[in-house]
């Protein structure tokens, strides 16, 4: 062990609010952050001239963040981010979900096909380049084509003669553009993960809640070739030597301490028009919550009855329940904070500013009225698209049928299609999906108007007398997806003549039923919905430009779009409601208290109980207690899962994994008195690695500051 002693919003932006672009910290934020306690320079955080914190951050997989914690490629992220990899290595005989997994040497680390780790190498603004060749005489379609051409040329230039990839993303609703250049590693091996009873302690009972007692972490190692560059998995690959890794701050935290988070927040909509917020509260979220409640109840019943099904559906269940509970928190938070009224007040302020100047009226007049018109017109189409996604396409066989049809249409090989099906069947159980299918179809037809009802409704009401279970039973009995011999014959036909194979596939009852829905939605809703979305996007672009002009003396932070961001705040307790105050930290004592309540989500390993009873906390405990989690006021979102929570010197204090229920609204409306990010304390992580898992050898490659 190496021991080492652009802008704020239309309302006043608090120090904790905002997801800032790292390359602009010197211009906008660094002074305020240093006043708040930061002891680093902007170059220490983001630089193309020196190693910096950006170089210790990664995109983990497709939707999480991770951080490097050693010179030998060791990486930390959340348990729930590594969950899919842990699940794929699990079986009833080797149940790593239940028992945990720890490689006691690099040779025991487990490879993960398809898992990637991606580093941001640099970013740059390309707004002017994206506007090249565009003039005021072009119609929107011509503008879009020219911008796509410009984008392709910019990306090509950034990726020539190297192994990098690049993306260009709009910011401020298309008022600015930035390019991000990445390096991606594909040899990523599982090093360690605690049992689910630690890594997911509290499970759905505690998800999105505080107080929290979850050891939500997992460990991986990035491997590279002999030149320290990305390479496909090979036993001869060596641990990657990152440009930067984080030191570990094991000295603890106190209320009021400066904290900062870097990572990849997925999506926020801070500048939504009031009608959009109202629709979210009153229509779209309640519908989605109801549909997912049904799916979760069905999955849970089967998972409790069969361990094989439990393992197969563990990751799926978690994915469905995560948004389900979050949406309930959003409704709670936005309602308590009167978010619609706040938006209306902001819009009145904007209207007054607009009407105070004739030139402004010429530039921006009608933007609010256009919002009102567009959202009113979009209502039924938005509901149709939401119902399609949350009911019809929530059916596993329906979703897989669409995927296979797409693969066939793209001319993919028989072998690739069969591999895709093998992966699908590994975690598929017909009774679960069939019951969900019946429930989702019934929900769709009960809630949608006749204009959006495909022909199969007549068959259900006629031949099956409204019995959705009987209709679904017939579908699932006849489809090739549940008959391996028929599927092989279909693949034989596809291999000999792809066109005939595709035509036969389209006649399958599952495929035909999915097509009825998708064809109808595309005909009745798709074109109108797409046009309205385009008009909304253009109106938001105008609105955002106006806001930036209105608030030109302040900084307006851009919405999250899964690009690297920086946020700062402090360790901070909060009062969720009258008479209730939550402390800023939790301890292992709270784990033990919950374990006595008898809930299945609060089961703990016997060894953890023994360590608690003997107070064997090593150097990680404080005054006879073992810290577990803490909260801070950093503005985070989905995608920040796994993000490092750092102190004023850029050392790792903990791993971000959640937000409090009252604060899930922060994607739409941030309230510094309520919104908190939840992190597992790095001392608990070290304690689990050392005392619980006995993998203290891993600590020897970390730089731990006591």
Q: Could you report the per-residue pLDDT of 254-271, keeping only the tens digit for each?
A: 999 999 999 999 999 999
Record the pTM. Answer: 0.87
pLDDT greater than 70 at residue 107: yes
pLDDT over 50 (residue 5): no
Asked if 216 is an active-site residue, the reply is yes
Only one residue has tokens 């934020």, namely 29
DSSP labels, 79-116: HHHHHHHHHHT--SSS-HHHH-EE-SSGGGPEE-TT--
Helix then strand then coil, % of the chain, to nearest 5: 50, 15, 30
Give the ranges where 557-677 is alpha helix by DSSP (H): 588-595, 606-613
Cα 462 from chain centre:
43
pLDDT confidence tier of residue 10, bands split at 50, 70 and 90: very low
Q: For 34-91, what is each residue's pLDDT tens digit?
A: 999 999 999 999 999 999 999 999 999 999 999 999 999 999 999 999 999 999 999 9
Asked if the model's pLDDT at residue 2 lies above 60, the reply is: no
Strands 218-224 and 117-125: unpaired
Q: Which residues contact 316 (CB under 8 A, 6 or more apart)?
A: 299, 427
CA angle 319, 278, 524 (to 5 degrees): 75
Q: Name the active-site residue from 47, 641, 643, 666.
A: 641
* 500-504 long-range Cβ contacts below 8 angstroms, 24+ apart: 501/408, 502/405, 502/408, 502/409
Using the predicted structure, report yes or no on whether residue 172 has a pLDDT greater than 60. yes
Whether 641 is catalytic is: yes
Tell me, what's the pLDDT at 568? 97
Give yes or no for residue 14 having a pLDDT over 80.
no
Q: Residue 620 burial by CB count (10 A; 0-12/13-18/19+): exposed, middle or buried? A: buried
Residue 523, CA distances (Å) to 241, 446, 448, 515, 518 in order:
53, 21, 16, 12, 8
8 A C-beta contact, residue 268 and residue 558: no
Measured distance CA(148)–CA(318) in Å, rounded: 37
The separation between CA 285 and the C-alpha centre of its own chain, rounded to angstroms, equals 18
> Does 226 score more than 60 pLDDT?
yes
* Residue tagged active-site, from 80, 213, 245, 635: 80
The model's confidence at residue 599, banded by pLDDT at 50, 70 and 90, is: confident
Phi, psi of 169 (to 5 degrees): -125, 140
Q: Determine the longest span between alpha carbons in the chain, in angstroms.
A: 78
Q: Which of these ranges, 9-23, 79-93, 375-389, has the smallest mean pLDDT?
A: 9-23
Q: How many C-beta atoms surround the C-beta of residue 236 within 10 A?
A: 8
Per-residue pLDDT, 222: 99
Stretch among 100-109, 292-301, 515-524 having the lowest mean pLDDT: 515-524
Average pLDDT of the residues in 117-125: 98
Query: Chain-wide mean pLDDT for the chain?
Result: 94
| 471 φ, ψ (degrees, to nearest 5) | -60, -45
pLDDT at 6 > cutoff 70: no
Per-residue pLDDT at 284: 94
Q: How is residue 599 annotated by DSSP?
A: -
User: pLDDT band at residue 656, thresholds of 50, 70 and 90?
Assistant: very high
Residue 8 has pLDDT above 60, yes or no: no
Which of the four pLDDT bands, split at 50, 70 and 90, describes residue 3? very low
Over residues 626-648, the pLDDT tens digits come to: 999 999 999 999 999 999 999 99
What's the rounded mean pLDDT across residues 326-354? 95
The answer to whether 337 and 121 have CB atoms below 8 angstroms apart is: no
pLDDT of residue 555: 84
User: What is the per-residue pLDDT across 483-536, written as a single tens digit (0 to 9) for each?
Assistant: 888 888 899 989 888 888 899 899 999 999 999 999 998 888 888 999 999 999
Look at residue 497 in the predicted model and tell me its pLDDT: 87
- 3-state secondary structure at position 202: coil
Please tell me what DSSP assigns to residue 693.
Answer: T
Residue count of the chain? 706
Per-residue pLDDT at 200 exceeds 50: yes
Q: What per-residue confidence (pLDDT) applies to 500?
A: 87
Tens of pLDDT, residue by residue over 420-449, are: 999 999 999 999 999 999 999 999 999 999
Q: Is 259 helix (H, G, I), strand (E, B) or coil?
A: strand
Out of 72, 187, 216, 559, which one is annotated catalytic? 216
pLDDT at 7 over 60: no
Of the pLDDT bands very low, low, confident and very high (cuts 50, 70, 90), residue 705 is: very high
Instruction: In whole angstroms, give the CA distance from residue 523 to residue 534.
Output: 17
pLDDT per residue over 543-552, tens digit each?
999 999 999 8
Average of pLDDT values for 305-314?
A: 94
Q: Are 558 and 178 in contact (CB under 8 A)?
A: no
Query: In the chain, what percentage of residues exceed pLDDT 90?
Result: 88
**192: enclosing H helix or E strand:** strand 187-193
Asked whether residue 600 carries a pLDDT value surpassing 90, the answer given is no
């Amino acid at each position: 062990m190496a021991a080492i002693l652009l802008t704020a919003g239309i309302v006043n932006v608090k120090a904790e609010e905002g997801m800032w672009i790292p390359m602009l910290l010197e211009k906008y934020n660094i002074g305020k952050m240093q006043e708040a306690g930061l002891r680093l320079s902007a170059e220490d955080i983001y630089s193309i001239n020196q190693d910096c914190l950006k170089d210790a951050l990664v995109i983990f997989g497709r939707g999480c963040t991770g951080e490097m914690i050693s010179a030998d490629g060791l990486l930390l992220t959340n348990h729930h981010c590594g969950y899919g990899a842990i699940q794929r290595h699990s079986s009833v005989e080797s149940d790593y979900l239940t028992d945990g997994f720890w490689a006691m040497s690099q040779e025991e680390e487990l490879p993960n096909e398809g898992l990637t780790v991606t580093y941001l190498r640099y970013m740059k603004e390309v707004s002017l380049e994206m506007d090249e060749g565009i003039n005021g005489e072009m119609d929107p379609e011509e503008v879009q084509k020219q911008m796509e051409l410009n984008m392709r040329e910019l990306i090509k230039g950034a990726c020539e003669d190297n192994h990098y990839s690049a993306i260009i993303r709009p910011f401020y609703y298309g008022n600015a553009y930035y390019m991000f250049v990445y390096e991606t590693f594909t040899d990523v091996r599982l090093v360690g993960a605690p049992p689910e009873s630690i890594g997911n302690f509290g499970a759905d009972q505690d998800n999105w809640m505080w107080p929290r007692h979850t050891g939500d972490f997992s460990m991986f190692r990035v491997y590279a070739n002999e030149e320290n560059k990305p390479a496909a998995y090979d036993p001869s690959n060596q641990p990657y030597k990152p440009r930067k890794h984080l030191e570990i701050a094991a000295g603890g935290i106190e209320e009021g301490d400066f904290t900062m988070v870097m990572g990849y927040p997925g999506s926020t909509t801070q500048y939504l028009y009031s009608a959009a917020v109202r629709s979210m509260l009153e229509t779209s979220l309640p519908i989605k919550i109801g549909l997912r409640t049904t799916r979760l109840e069905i999955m849970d019943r089967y998972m409790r009855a069969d361990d094989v099904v439990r393992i197969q559906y563990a990751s799926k269940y978690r994915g469905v329940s995560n948004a389900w509970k979050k949406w309930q928190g959003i409704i709670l938070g936005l309602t308590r904070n009167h978010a619609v009224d706040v938006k209306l007040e902001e819009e009145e302020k904007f209207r007054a500013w607009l009407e105070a100047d004739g030139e402004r009226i010429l530039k921006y007049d009608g933007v609010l009225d256009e919002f009102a018109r567009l959202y009113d017109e979009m209502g039924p189409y938005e509901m149709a698209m939401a119902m399609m996604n949350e009911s019809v396409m929530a059916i596993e066989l329906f979703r897989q049928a669409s995927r296979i049809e797409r693969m066939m249409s793209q001319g993919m090989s028989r072998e690739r299609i069969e591999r895709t099906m093998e992966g699908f069947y590994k975690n598929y159980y017909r009774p679960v999906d069939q019951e969900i299918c019946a429930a989702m179809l019934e929900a769709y037809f009960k809630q949608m108007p006749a204009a959006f009802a495909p022909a199969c409704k007549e068959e259900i009401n006629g031949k099956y007398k409204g019995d959705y279970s009987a209709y679904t039973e017939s579908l699932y009995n006849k489809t090739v997806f549940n008959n391996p011999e028929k599927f092989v014959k279909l693949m034989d036909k596809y291999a000999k003549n792809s066109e005939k194979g595709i035509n036969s596939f389209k006649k399958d009852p599952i495929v035909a039923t999915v097509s009825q829905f998708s064809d109808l939605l595309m005909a009745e809703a798709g074109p109108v919905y797409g046009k309205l979305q385009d008009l909304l996007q253009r109106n938001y672009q105008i609105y955002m430009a106006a806001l930036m002009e209105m608030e030109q003396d302040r900084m307006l932070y851009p919405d999250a779009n899964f690009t690297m961001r920086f946020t700062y705040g402090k360790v901070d307790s909060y009062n969720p409601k009258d008479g209730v105050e939550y402390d800023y930290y939790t301890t292992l004592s709270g784990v033990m208290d919950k374990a006595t309540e008898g809930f299945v989500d609060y089961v703990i390993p016997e060894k953890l109980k023994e360590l608690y009873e003997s107070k064997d906390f090593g150097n990680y405990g404080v005054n006879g207690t073992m810290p577990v989690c803490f909260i801070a006021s950093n503005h985070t979102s989905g995608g920040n899962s796994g993000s490092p929570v750092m102190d004023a010197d850029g050392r790792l204090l903990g791993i971000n994994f959640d937000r409090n229920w009252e604060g899930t609204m922060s994607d739409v409306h941030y309230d510094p008195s309520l919104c908190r990010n939840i992190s597992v304390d790095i001392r608990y992580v070290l304690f689990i690695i050392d005392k619980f898992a006995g993998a203290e050898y891993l600590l020897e490659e970390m730089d731990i500051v006591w």
